[in-house]
Structure formats: C-alpha cells, structure tokens
Structure 1
Amino acid sequence: SPPPDGLLLCSVGRQVERKGTAWFVDAVMPRLPADVHYWVAGDGPELDTIEAAIARHDLAPRVRLLGRIPNDTLGALYRGADLFVMPNVPVEDDMEGFGIVLLEAGQCGTPAVAARLEGIQDVIADGVNGHLVAPQSPDAFVDAIAAYRNDSEALDAAAQRALHYTEDTFGWPAVADTYLSVLRTLWRQGTPPAPDTTDHPPAHSRTAG
C-alpha cells in the first residue's frame, strides 16, 4: 500500500528485545503527532509485546506490523519511508552488530534516527547519514524526528546526504580502497595499520620476519 500522508518512520529486522521496537511504540509514538506513522518489517518473539503496546495506546491506525516481507517489497519500504528508526535498547549479552539495515536504508536515501549503541555507531555519522541519540530517551527521539516534520527541504537534504555518504563510505570502491590500504601497509611494514586512536598510543606490534 502507498505511504500514508504525514511522516513515515520504518524499522526492519528480527523483532527481539534489543531492537527496542516495543519500547519505541510504548514510549515515543504516543508523544509524536497523529500524522507520524510507523511501519515495522520483520518477525520475532517480541511481536506480542509490540502488539500489546499498540493496543495500550490505541495506535493501530498509525503503527503497522508488516511481518516478513520479500526483498523487492523491502526496497519499496525503505524508499517510501521518510526516516529509518533503530531505537535499540541495551540488553545484557545481546549486542547489536554492524548495522546492515542502516546501510540498506542509506542506499535508498533514507536517513536514520538511531540509538547510540555498539555497531550502530560504525554506520551512522551523526548529522550526516542520520542522527545518533541517547538510548531509551523518549525526548531525544521525539526531538530528532519532530525536526523533520513539515520540513520537506530538510528531509530532502538529509536523504541526499544519507545516499552520498553511504555510497562514498561503504560502496565497493571505498571498501576496496580500504582493503588495499591495509594490504599495502602489511606488505611494507609486516603489521596492520595502527588503529586511529587519539586518547592513547596503540599497543606495540611485533613486526613480521
């Protein structure tokens, strides 16, 4: 179905606790204006909890659970959405890995509003391809999302930034250049390049040979 009028948020992924979808429906969606909609793709053990939050706040018209959807439909969801939301919450022994779905969204020109956690920070450059906000902070999510409501120019600019940043940073040419740089350093020095740390020098590495 076509995107609704107003601002459309989307999330994609297996619905487990750390994804924070239930928290977002419970704590953030009721505080957003009635023309902000939220569509969620993916199944998982949290669906009942998410549905309970939808019912508790009478959000059924605005929050849709799409279940598992095929890749072509997934691309249409990314492109139809205004913002990609990744409202992860900290869960002991269940960390978020590298945010592949954030890359997928970026490739479709969909900027993200995401919790400042783990692998999410490896993908989102704050203010470039999205916004990193404090985990489990309703105010932070509401402020970041509300900034784009009724501001199509800001949304268009954010979409272009997300697309270009994703292509320039994570496209194959950029990834290949990174690999080549590492391999050249290994060939010359026998050690991988030192991590880019400013707080303390890298640990001493033993040279090969």
Structure 2
Amino acid sequence: MTRPAINSGPLDALLVTRNLPPLRGGMERLCLHIALSLSNGGYNLSVIGPEGCAAHLPAPVRVREIPYRPLVRFFIAASRAVCVAARRGPVVVIAGSGLTAPFAWFAARSTNARFVVYLHGLDIIARSAVYQFFWLPFIRRADLILVNSDSTGRLAQMRGIQKNRIEVLHPGTEVPGPDAEARRLFREEHGLGERPVLLSVGRLTPRKGLAEFIKLALPAILAQHPDAVFLVIGADADDAARPASESQLERIFRAANEAGVSAALRVLPPCDDAMLTSAYRAADAHVFPVLDLPGDVEGFGMVAIEAAAHGVPTVGFRVGGVPDAIVEGVSGSLIEPHDYGGFAVQVSHWVGQGGRPMLQARCVAAATGYGWPRFGERLHSLLGALLGNGA
C-alpha cells in the first residue's frame, strides 16, 4: 500500500487520546493544545476523545466522543472509533499518550499513515506487566516519538526506543500580563491579606508529595514566616487511569494535624482558568515537592512553567523532568530528593523576595520560551519533517 499523497492542500490528521478537557490536568491541557495547533495550522483534524471534549474544541474539528471509564469500556469504544475515523484516510495519526498507542497504530496501519506518539513519562514506565508486554511494542513502532522532557526521552531509550526517533517537545503555557488588582481581589476574597502565600496546584496523587512536604518542610518554613499560608488547589485524581487507593486529600489534612500546622493550610477545589490565574498572581512561591517513586514519574512539571509565567518562582525536587521546567536561580530552585531541610530554606528565601518586580520579570522571561505558540511551531516543524512537506 502506498502512502497517501502529500500536496499543498489541507492534510487530514487523527488524534486519539483519553486526555482532553473536561478532564483536568497537565496532560489534558497539552493534548488540547496539540488539537488546537493542528486545527489552526491547516490540518483537517479528527479527534477521538473523552465524553464532553467536543465543547472544548473548535467547530472545524470532527469529534467522536467515547466513555473514558472504566478503562475496559474506553478500550472497546476506542477500537470501534478508530475503525470509523480511519476511513477518512489521515496522513498522520497521533496518540495523545502511550495509553492510546495501539489504537492509533491500528488507524495508521490501515491507511498507511505516519504514526506519532506523545509520551509523558508515566506512560513509558507504568508498573503493569500487561502494559509493558502489550503496549510498549506499539509505542516502539511509532515513526516519531514526542516526549515532554529530556528525562522522558531517556526513559524511552531505556525501553528500547531508538534515539533517532525521539524528539523533545516541551509543553507550553499562557503568558499573561501583570495584574495587581487580580492579586488583591483574590487575597481579599480568601482572607489572605498580606500574608506570604505558598501555592500548590494540580491533581492530588501520591507522587506530588504534599503530605510529606507538610510534615517535613512546612513547620520549618512557618518558623521563619509564622503567618504564611499553604494554599492547595486540587482534588483527588478520581478520573485517573489508575486512581490511588487512598484519598490524598485525607492524607494532607491528617499530615497537617499531626504536624500542628492545620491553621496554615487552605484547600480549594479545582477551579476555572480565570480563578487559577488569580491564585498564581496572589502567590509568593510555588512548591513542587514531587517524589521519586518506583513505577511513577513526573514527566515534566507544567505547573512550574505556569507559575513562572505569572511571575512566581518554584521550589521543586530534582526528579524526573522537573529540571526541564525550572531555571535554577532564575525561576526557582532545584533541591536534591528527600532534602526537606534544604527545601524549606529555599522556600523561605523566595518568600522573602515575593512580589519584587525584578524577580517577577525574570520568572516571566524564563516562561516565555515555553509559550504555546512556540509549542505549535515546533510541532508543525516536526510533523512537516516527518511528512516530507512544509506542514
């Protein structure tokens, strides 16, 4: 079978993913921007995604929604959907994560299209014998492997993927302008006043290490900044492919009670983008105490880039792809794993500089290199090279 002809007209592309809004998380935002970049960049895009995703995609995109849980139901629906979508004859099929690689491979194979997979980290090292045995061979067959960080690229090579087919494509972020009024209003609404605010954003999973941070670092920070507030915005990741067996929110409250710091803890549920932007602007430091857990990994650390885009420095452990997201001494600090004393010292350091215009400007400058427009440009460049045209 010959490959579909590539000409100067719009090209058909198919994106197969479980990770799109209305589900929340960094993978969901990234896959949304893959879809937006393709649709806005001249591709006739079809998407197979989770129920409710059509409302978040532009009108020209052809969407087939399928149930995202339980996983067995998702797999069955995805198998049927790719058979239908492949009839359009896409020239490239993209799996939004390793989880959908077999379905994307089938669609690409049936039309002799190019096959691309975007890997996030966990989807290459998942501790499942079935996944490692069945899914990895499909991932290895991809014509192009996009990875979110150098760390994920190394993990992919360790799983037998050829280096010459791996390309790093960092996730992006919006870079809003300063808004002192939004900072004031958020602090006023939540009774924060002028207290130092430490912020954590994202789905609550064991890997995020928030309970450990509260027990092992927050008391030392409060000794230096007694009126500081630790603001957590997030909820248990109940919609994850493999939800945690224990509520992380309950662990966080229990840790705060045991450490005697409950008065400094505030928890807000997941919020819309406007409120999240205001929360970033209200913060003095973003904490990212990710743990290096067997069979789990932080592929990149998109929230660190988002914090920097709002002028807020991040303190994080040097694990997984986090070093790709923090510019040492500019947009935050990287701490060796398990050094909670050093973590507390650096958080106190950045809190002491909170709100300074020069610090904010350096953080924003570091984040600008990760803007979504640059993400789209590189995605189109890589796909153009793969397809042998100027896409």
Q: Same fold (TM over 0.5)?
A: yes
Judged with a 3 Å threshold, the aligned counterparts in structure 2 of structure 1 residues 183 and 50 are, in CA distance, closer, same or farther, namely closer
TM-score of the superposed pair, with normalisation by structure 1: 0.78
Cα offset for 1:105? 1.2
Aligned pairs for 1:170-181 within 5 A = 170-172=370-372, 174-175=374-375, 178=378
Cα offset for 1:180? 7.5
Please say if residues 3 and 80 of structure 1, whose CA atoms lie closer than 8 Å, have aligned partners that are also in contact. no
Aligned pairs for 1:26-175 within 5 A = 26-33=215-222, 34-44=226-236, 45-152=247-354, 155-167=356-368, 169-172=369-372, 174-175=374-375
Judged with a 3 Å threshold, the aligned counterparts in structure 2 of structure 1 residues 127 and 175 are, in CA distance, closer, same or farther, namely same
Please say if residues 285 and 314 of structure 2, whose CA atoms lie closer than 8 Å, have aligned partners that are also in contact. yes
Please say if residues 5 and 35 of structure 1, whose CA atoms lie closer than 8 Å, have aligned partners that are also in contact. no
Write out per-residue CA displacement over residues 106-164 of structure 1, whole angstroms, 9 at most, x where no aligned residue: 221111111111121111111121111112211111110122344457x4432211111
User: Separation in 2 of the partners of 1:172 and 1:51?
Assistant: 35
Q: How many residues align?
A: 186
Please say if residues 287 and 347 of structure 2, whose CA atoms lie closer than 8 Å, have aligned partners that are also in contact. no
Write out per-residue CA displacement over residues 160-202 of structure 1, whole angstroms, 9 at most, x where no aligned residue: 11111101x11245446656776898899xxxxxxxxxxxxxx
Q: Which one has a bigger Cα radius of gyration?
A: 2
User: Separation in 1 of the partners of 2:218 and 2:195?
Assistant: 14
Judged with a 3 Å threshold, the aligned counterparts in structure 2 of structure 1 residues 184 and 111 are, in CA distance, closer, same or farther, namely same
Judged with a 3 Å threshold, the aligned counterparts in structure 2 of structure 1 residues 74 and 144 are, in CA distance, closer, same or farther, namely same
Which residue identity does 2:201 align to in structure 1? V
Judged with a 3 Å threshold, the aligned counterparts in structure 2 of structure 1 residues 148 and 111 are, in CA distance, closer, same or farther, namely closer
Please say if residues 130 and 158 of structure 1, whose CA atoms lie closer than 8 Å, have aligned partners that are also in contact. no
Tell me the SS of whatever aligns to 1:97.
coil
Which residue identity does 1:43 align to in structure 2? A
Q: Does 1:15 align with 2:215?
A: no
Q: Which runs of 5+ in 2 are unaligned?
A: 1-189, 237-246
Compare relative contact order (CA 8 Å, sep 6+) and give the higher one, 1 or 2.
Answer: 1
Tell me the SS of whatever aligns to 2:199.
strand
User: Separation in 2 of the partners of 1:122 and 1:10?
Assistant: 20
Cα offset for 1:84? 0.7
Which residue identity does 2:367 align to in structure 1? T
Judged with a 3 Å threshold, the aligned counterparts in structure 2 of structure 1 residues 172 and 17 are, in CA distance, closer, same or farther, namely closer
TM-score of the superposed pair, with normalisation by structure 2: 0.44
Which residue identity does 2:294 align to in structure 1? E
Please say if residues 207 and 296 of structure 2, whose CA atoms lie closer than 8 Å, have aligned partners that are also in contact. yes
Judged with a 3 Å threshold, the aligned counterparts in structure 2 of structure 1 residues 105 and 187 are, in CA distance, closer, same or farther, namely same
User: Separation in 1 of the partners of 2:387 and 2:330?
Assistant: 34
Tell me the SS of whatever aligns to 1:131.
strand
Write out per-residue CA displacement over residues 76-123 of structure 1, whole angstroms, 9 at most, x where no aligned residue: 111100111100111111111221212221221111111111121111
Which residue identity does 2:316 align to in structure 1? A
User: Separation in 2 of the partners of 1:151 and 1:176?
Assistant: 34
Tell me the SS of whatever aligns to 1:114.
strand
Percent identical across equivalent pairs?
Answer: 29
Please say if residues 284 and 351 of structure 2, whose CA atoms lie closer than 8 Å, have aligned partners that are also in contact. no
Cα offset for 1:4? 4.0
User: Separation in 1 of the partners of 2:229 and 2:359?
Assistant: 19
